[in-house]
Amino acid sequence: MQSFRSEIENPIVEKDIIDLERKIQQFYKGEIDEERFRSLRLARGVYGQRQFGVQMIRIKLPYGKLTSEQLHRIANVSDEYSRGRLHITTRQDIQIHHVSLDRTPELWAELEKDDITLREACGNAVRNVTASETAGIDKDEPFDVSPYAHATFEFFLRNPICQELGRKFKISFSGTDKDTALSFMHDLGFIAKTKNGVRGFKIMVAGGLGSQARLADTLFEFIETDKIIPVTEAVLRVFDRFGERSKRAKARLKFLIKDIGFEAFVKLVEDEQKALSVKTFPIDTAGFDKDVDVSHVEIPSVEIKDQQAFETWKAINVIEQKQEGLSAIGVKVHLGDFYTKEARILADLIKKYAGNEIRLSLRQNILIRHVKNELLPFFYVELQKLGFVDVGYESTLDITSCPGTDTCNLGIASSTGVSAELERVLKTEYPQYANNKEITIKISGCMNSCGQHTMAHIGFQGMSIKSGNLVAPALQVLLGGSVLGDGAGRIADKVLKIPSKRGPQALREILNDYQSNVKVGESFLNYYDRQGERYFYTLLKPLADTTNLEQSDFVDWGADEAYVKAVGVGECAGVVIDLIATLLFESEEKLENASESLKKEQYADSIYYAYLSIVNTAKALLISEGKKTNTHAGIISQFEEEFASKIELDVPFSEFIFQIQKNEPTKEFAESYLIDAQSFYKKVDAYRANIVSDEA
């Protein structure tokens, strides 16, 4: 396992991977608590599966961009460390499953050879930064948002202000007012705008799905591009300090704003301005603004055996780019799953015959970019060999689904099984929806909405339902969600719960009623609003009857045995249980990080590491006294109240720690703040040692 170290060129990455390897060994030896170790590995993209003893690895791919070389690398890693299956997520990541924990450092090192990271793909950090998959080629976009998404990804990767948040934090970039990156459901959503010829963004804040969905507020109607990094940093600083940490269900940014109010939140963001690491951050777009040159690409001669099928595919799955003479090809990937054999062939195709780039979509598909229009027949023939020409890319027939009970600990009922059956029903009974880009169908295996069912026109959520003493898999039917555009959205209504095996019939009832009653020119949403939620409850109510269930109703989709509700501990959104000794040990590590950052003249990072050490140290002492430690702000106020007379400081504790907010990140302040943090740690450590000694 040690051989990979000499092959990693980036010393920061090398340290990261070695640290993961070391933490794994410490965990095996019992030196790290299991709950704390969970937090450590999640921050490195290693997620526990439903199946015992294996891990899911989430590969972080900013805005879903992949080159041929990177796709080959991921395929090689999947074959070597897993089973050759690749899963595209609704955040434009790729997941591979069934990986041994022992091999994760080596796997990570292999990926880094082509600049692919696992860092912060899971856990309570800034997750993958997503963007419209058509960014850079969309005829309607004011500018390409890709470089801004990339700069945001890079700036906050390993950034100390967002390593141990109360919960995950999600950021998106939409290229147009159509809001295809779904800004309204993100912690921070950016929508490209221009004002008097100047590039900028509308910024949405504190949206989210899950069991308590919330539509985002508008933080700024327009802000210039060089301000988006400072704004994001300020929001993250506020979330880190005031966000809930103990109650997982209340720990997202949307709950903080709900608790304190939007105006109070904005004031807190404004109060952080002096402490920011940068006041302005111009983003270099040079590498993205260059046109892709595919003029040299040869055009092989091919024979189209079914011209009508080709024309249908071209009309539905091909997108005309803003670059003259080029098109993008949408590949509908069933359930987001494809395999390494197809991945390698696809990688070779885009390298030789296109712009050497694909983008993964938010609906778990693949978009091949920069294809000469003359090459469309050739690509059709080649993709047909791979089974990649199913029509319906990003259409009603293209159902979004999370893995559900296949691999996820939180899955309540199968989402992939019912998705497959619904797609079959649509394809055979409702083929006319292959080119319907309006109605979306989304399915999640639990309330967390990884399949984004709460924003679908037609959504399904995995549940369970009782029938006497027996329990059957079930689906909550939701209707009326949608993306409205320009930061606005709709959350779907929960209509009723039905046994899961009746999901296909529920879809038939809805679509049949829509086709029978929709008015000319009326959208699905207007039709739904006109009929009303109660109408659909009555329409579907016969399917909710549990007195007439058959034996097959107690077997979930894709299963052979009777359904058993088995929900494990969720990890991606989990909050860890901290031990006092572990906290104090981590305080020391943070002081070391502060010192290292100071040597590298990274003053803002040094200051924040010192701040985190002080908070961690105070938290450890409060936990030893049985006190609550829900937020950083709460820790600070409680520590001042409980230990003002026990830990001697020259000023009140709040004033001591909040120097971070009152000073600019200069070398002088970084040095003095680090000395303060080191001194505070020594005082607390000595106090704790005396207490332990007395208790013994």
**pLDDT at 426 (0 to 100):** 96
User: Which portions of the chain are predicted below pLDDT 70?
Assistant: 1-8, 406-407, 409, 566-579, 692-696
DSSP secondary structure letter of residue 493: E
Domain boundaries for CATH 3.30.413.10 within the chain: 130-283, 400-554
Beta strand ranges found along 127-176 (DSSP E): 130-131, 171-174
Domain 2-112 carries which CATH code? 3.90.480.20
**pLDDT at 694 (0 to 100):** 53
Residue 191 in contact with residue 205, Cβ under 8 Å?
no
Domain boundaries for CATH 3.30.70.3340 within the chain: 303-385
Domain 303-385 carries which CATH code? 3.30.70.3340
Strand order in the sheet with 65-66: 65-66, 358-360, 366-372, 326-331, 318-320
Has domain 400-554 been given CATH number 3.30.413.10? Answer: yes
Domain 130-283 carries which CATH code? 3.30.413.10
Residue 615 in contact with residue 623, Cβ under 8 Å?
no
Residue type at position 478: L
Which residues are paired to 205 by β-bridges? 188, 217
Spatial neighbors of 93 by CB under 8 A, at least 6 apart, are 58, 59, 60, 61, 121, 128, 360
Residue 310 in contact with residue 377, Cβ under 8 Å?
yes
The rounded distance, in Å, linking the Cα atoms of 413 and 445 is: 5
Spatial neighbors of 396 by CB under 8 A, at least 6 apart, are 426, 430, 433, 434, 436, 437, 438, 439, 440, 441
Paired sense of beta strands 441-444 and 458-467, if any: parallel
Distance of CA 571 to the CA centre of its chain: 13
CATH topology classification for 580-695:
Four Helix Bundle (Hemerythrin (Met), subunit A) (1.20.120)
Task: Provide the token pair at 378.
Answer: 């050739």
Burial of 37 (0-12, 13-18, 19+ CB in 10 A): buried
Residue 123 in contact with residue 42, Cβ under 8 Å?
yes
Domain boundaries for CATH 3.90.480.20 within the chain: 2-112
Per-residue pLDDT tens digits for 493-525: 999 999 999 999 999 999 999 999 999 999 999
Residue type at position 280: T
**pLDDT at 566 (0 to 100):** 59
Encode 98-122: b = buried (16+ Cβ within 10 Å), e = exposed. Answer: bbebebbbbbbbbbbbbebbbbbbb
